[in-house]
Structure 1
């Protein structure tokens, strides 16, 4: 089954069930928000979030703030997630602050840059698991244990470590993918996995890898501040 969606390219990966706040200031995406707000009552206010593979998240402009021809072109990853708008705040400058929640995954079949001020895409909905089995539940328990160990390495506040993690394996897999300190490429690979068990197994490998790296950094006998380099002006 396919559908046509407005598409919002971002430098991040959205997962089902995760909250994504957005500040909308570009005119093309203001037009997208106005389109969503004007939909009939009861219609899902939903658009696709797709991570950028190459290109600009914000369209570059030239003198006088005019867009550079072709400067806003982006290459998108193949798999994205819809964002359902839960709250809209219109700002004095005409922009918007949104609170959105990830809803369902999709694969981009084709992108249309011409029919609207913003990108639209023909998308194919990706399957979601209907329920956990025993092996997936066992994997989820292992991920929870490793994730808690990982959190002890990245968080100083013990109160934060006592937070409740979801027992549902699919929900857990999305939460871990979104909150662990992974690269966009790693997160994108996890989003594209259709099977919860396969996603959990991949997360076990990634969490063990990240924990090993963190332990190595902590073992360096110099203050971490001395390892930092001055930020690039570009």
Structure 2
């Protein structure tokens, strides 16, 4: 796609077809269906929000959220103290998820507090740091499950059971564990990936998996790993000498 195409206007919306998106590098991984609130303070991303808000009624107000592989998302400043165009020197992961703008609150200083929801996964084909104040990218939409999957449904039941055990180890309030978990295998797989205490690398690998059943299998392994580590940490006794030591001021 040529660089004079307006950022945020997709060329197509079918799986496997390319589109152009504004891109927001973050130190986190967004999954479809998950809520992501953001505080927008940099001028380049203020411009992005203004662009999205100014789109015609009915146009998709989406931008791509991509986890940072290396670097920092805050842009360096120029001699005048303002962020330089194109953003900081960052290396991005290849797979991201679009964030749909749901709520915008303009602040007195010109920034924004926004609420977004993850929509659809994509793979970055090319990044453009010159045609807009913020990064834009040519992306390819990734496939999503289109119907019932018996294997995924069976795995979902196992993931729910293991996830509840995991929550029992990480949450102090047992009542929180009784929360309703989604029965839809794909929705469940995204929720578990986003809420379990996993590394960005673990979450990124889960986001990159196209097949729900395969994602659930990977989550079973990760949840069992994390639960085993938590049990091991809790089983380590506190030395008696440490219990006898007076508390320190820090």
Q: TM-score, normalised by structure 2?
A: 0.86
SS at match of 1:15: coil
Structure 2 matches for 1:1-234, cutoff 5 A? 1-61=17-77, 65-67=81-83, 72-222=88-238
Deviation, 1:219, is 1.1
Partners of 2:38 and 2:150 lie apart in 1 by 38
Query: Which residue of structure 2 aligns with residue 231 of structure 1?
Result: none
8 A Cα contact 2:36 2:115, kept in partner: yes
Deviation, 1:66, is 4.6
8 A Cα contact 2:43 2:83, kept in partner: no
Relative to structure 1, the CA distance from residue 62 to residue 4 in structure 2 (aligned partners, 3 Å threshold; closer, same or farther) is: closer
8 A Cα contact 2:86 2:132, kept in partner: no
8 A Cα contact 2:44 2:83, kept in partner: no
Partners of 1:114 and 1:62 lie apart in 2 by 16
Tell me which structure has the larger Cα radius of gyration: 2
Can you list the C-alpha shifts for 1:63-98, whole angstroms capped at 9, x where unaligned? 763547998111000000000000000000000000
Relative to structure 1, the CA distance from residue 35 to residue 67 in structure 2 (aligned partners, 3 Å threshold; closer, same or farther) is: closer
Deviation, 1:132, is 2.6
Partners of 1:70 and 1:152 lie apart in 2 by 45
Partners of 1:99 and 1:33 lie apart in 2 by 11
8 A Cα contact 1:132 1:168, kept in partner: no
Partners of 1:131 and 1:202 lie apart in 2 by 21
8 A Cα contact 1:132 1:169, kept in partner: no
Deviation, 1:222, is 2.1
Q: Gaps spanning 5+ residues in structure 2: where?
A: 1-16, 243-250
Relative to structure 1, the CA distance from residue 91 to residue 66 in structure 2 (aligned partners, 3 Å threshold; closer, same or farther) is: closer
SS at match of 2:115: strand
How many residue pairs get aligned? The number is 224
Partners of 1:181 and 1:212 lie apart in 2 by 13
SS at match of 2:210: coil
8 A Cα contact 2:87 2:135, kept in partner: no
Query: Which residue of structure 1 aligns with residue 8 of structure 2?
Result: none
8 A Cα contact 2:86 2:133, kept in partner: no
8 A Cα contact 2:18 2:140, kept in partner: yes
SS at match of 2:202: helix
